[in-house]
Homo-oligomer: A and B are copies of this chain.
Amino acid sequence: MSRAEAAPFAYEGLDRVIHEKARLGLLTSLIAHPKGLAFGDLKQLCGLTDGNLSRHLQVLQEAGLVEIRKGYDGNRPQTTCGLTAAGRSRFLDYLAVLERVVRDAAEAAERAPEAAGRPQPA
């Protein structure tokens, strides 16, 4: 018996680097922008302070999920942050597990619609 069968709700694929709430928002913003996003835009989209943005980007960068890119906005040099190819792929794998969590829980809630604590027929 595989571990997934033995512990169907262990959700080992929920990578903690990605699962953290602020980082989940950052990765969702970045997957929509393959050209990368300026720090100010990321901060605003995710409702983060400068300190939190920089802390979480560092975790993502150390894990190889995002990279800082030097580019130009017209003639003006601009630094942006973008997903790496490995980051995109790991985030898509994570999303497949997250989708399974949502589906498992929705199915469970539907099969057991009674309020908690009420006795059920066996």
Contacts and interface: CB of A to CB of B under 8 A. Distances in A.
A108 B10 contact: no
Contact of A10 (B47, B69, B105): B47
B115 A85 contact: yes
Contacts of A3: 47
Secondary structure class of chain A's binding surface, majority of residues: helix
Contact of A101 (B45, B67, B98): B98
Most buried by B among A6, A19, A102: A102
A46 B9 contact: yes
Interface residues of A, number: 57
Interface in A49-104: 67, 69, 82-85, 87-88, 91-92, 95, 98-99, 101-102, 104
Contacts of A7: 44-47
A69 B101 CA distance: 26
Contacts of A11: 21, 24-25
A38 interface: no
A61 to B, nearest CB: 13
